[in-house]
């Protein structure tokens, strides 16, 4: 048997091991630390002091009003939900279509080119998307739909849909690729057309992965801040049409947190909004994760 030798290679090996370990653990630590921080700042207030009846049912968000501030978050939740919902209407057909085309039809060069292009879309910073919403979409919507202002659910939804599309396309394509080639061959051997193969064999077996892709897109939409802040109009409204301006939870936190005195009621209620967001995105991501794992488990 060889003796363990302490030479350079051994040292490098050990150091690398340590660095990788710290890297791996730190991700978990950061998530826990963020959760603890948010909870510490706002959870006590959210549980004991905040009037939940008002918070969940009143649209009146006037946190700096005198003499009585109003902390109703219903309009903000409706804002986030409507923008995310509209974004999904835009991006689900597009990204699933793109995933099917890239995964099932495109070959060789075209396929690689499209994949790079889709990933490039994900690299555009959100403030640039917001800027597009503000300066290009706004006048366009006023012009085309003859509405008084173009900073609306429609505007933010389209922007957000485009932002969520790359991640959804990539994950959906992975899900399609994970369907064993044998399924397709078997179906084709039985005389199925290409479309029949996709619709009746590939899509049903990739179902969980596709749902996970959509859920991750939803999570992306929920958490997005800057683009929504700029394109949605930032107006407290219970929306009744896609041409209403709304205000999102994230945008509210972004616009107000920097300007509140630490420890004030307003500060704590913003953290309560943060907790709400955290819970919702956590549940969505967890659901997506469980679904993806379910698919992998079945394969094994």
Partner 1 sequence: MGSLRTCDRTEDTLKGGPRQIHKVLKKADMKAMKLPLLATLAVAATLTSCGGSVNGSSRTILQNKGSDTLVNVAQAWAEEYSKVNPSCAIAVTGGGSGTGISAMINGTVDIANSSRSMKDKEMTMARENGVEPVEFTVGFDALAVYVHKDNPIESITIEQLAMIYGEGGEVEKWSQLGIQMPEGASDEIVRVSRQNNSGTYAYFREAVLGKTGNYKLGSLDMHGSKDVVDLVEKTPSAIGYSGLAYATDHLKLVPVSSGGGAPVEPTVETAIDRTYPIARPLLMYTSGQPTGATKEYMDWILSDVGQQIILKKGYAPVRDL
**Which residues of the chain form contacts with partner 1 (CB under 8 A)?**
59-67, 70, 75, 138-139, 142, 146-149, 151, 229, 233-237, 245, 247, 255-256, 258-262, 264
Rounded to a whole number of angstroms, the minimum distance from the CB of residue 258 to partner 1 is 6
Nearer to partner 1, 78 or 162 (CB): 78
Distance CA 285, CA 220 (A): 10
Burial level of 108, CB count in 10 A (0-12/13-18/19+)?
Answer: exposed
Q: Which is nearer to partner 1, 208 or 252 (CB)?
A: 252
**Residue 108: CB minimum distance to partner 1, A:** 46
Residue closer to partner 1, measured from CB, 10 or 145: 145
What is the smallest separation between the CB atom of 181 and partner 1, expressed in angstroms?
A: 53
| For partner 1, the closer CB: 38 or 149 | 149
Radius of gyration of the chain (CA): 24
CB of 166 to partner 1, least distance (A): 28
Question: Which token pair is 242?
Answer: 């896609």
* Backbone dihedral angles phi then psi of residue 136, each to the nearest 5 degrees: -105, -50
CB of 255 to partner 1, least distance (A): 5
Is 106 or 255 the residue whose CB approaches partner 1 more closely? Answer: 255
> What CA–CA distances, in Å, run from 285 to 23, 185, 217, 222?
22, 34, 10, 11
Tell me the C-alpha distance between 127 and 8, whole Å: 47
């Amino acid at each position: 048997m060889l003796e363990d030798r302490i030479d350079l290679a051994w040292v490098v090996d050990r150091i690398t091991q340590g660095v990788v370990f710290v890297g791996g653990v730190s991700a978990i630590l950061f998530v826990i630390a963020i959760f603890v921080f948010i909870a510490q700042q706002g959870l006590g207030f959210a549980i004991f002091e905040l009037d939940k009846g008002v918070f969940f049912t009143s649209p009146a968000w006037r946190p700096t009003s005198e003499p009585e501030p109003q902390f109703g978050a219903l309009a903000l939740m409706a804002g986030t939900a409507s923008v995310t919902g509209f974004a999904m209407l835009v991006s689900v057909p597009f990204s699933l279509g793109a995933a099917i085309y890239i995964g099932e039809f495109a070959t060789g060069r075209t396929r690689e080119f499209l994949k790079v292009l889709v990933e490039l879309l994900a690299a555009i910073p959100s403030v640039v998307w917001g800027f597009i919403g503000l300066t290009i979409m706004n006048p366009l919507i006023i012009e085309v739909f003859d509405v008084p202002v173009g900073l609306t659910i429609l505007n933010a939804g389209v922007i957000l849909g485009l932002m969520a599309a790359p991640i959804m396309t990539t994950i959906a394509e992975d899900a399609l690729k994970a369907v064993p080639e044998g399924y397709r061959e078997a179906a084709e051997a039985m005389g199925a057309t290409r479309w029949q193969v996709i619709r009746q064999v590939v899509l049903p077996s990739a179902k969980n992965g596709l749902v996970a892709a959509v859920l991750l897109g939803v999570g992306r939409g929920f958490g997005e801040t800057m683009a929504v802040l700029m394109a949605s109009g930032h107006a407290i409204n219970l929306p009744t049409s896609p041409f209403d301006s709304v205000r999102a939870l994230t945008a509210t936190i972004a616009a107000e947190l920097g300007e509140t005195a630490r420890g004030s009621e307003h500060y704590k209620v913003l953290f309560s909004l943060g907790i709400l967001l955290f819970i919702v995105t956590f549940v969505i991501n967890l659901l997506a994760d469980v679904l993806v794992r379910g698919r992998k488990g079945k394969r094994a």
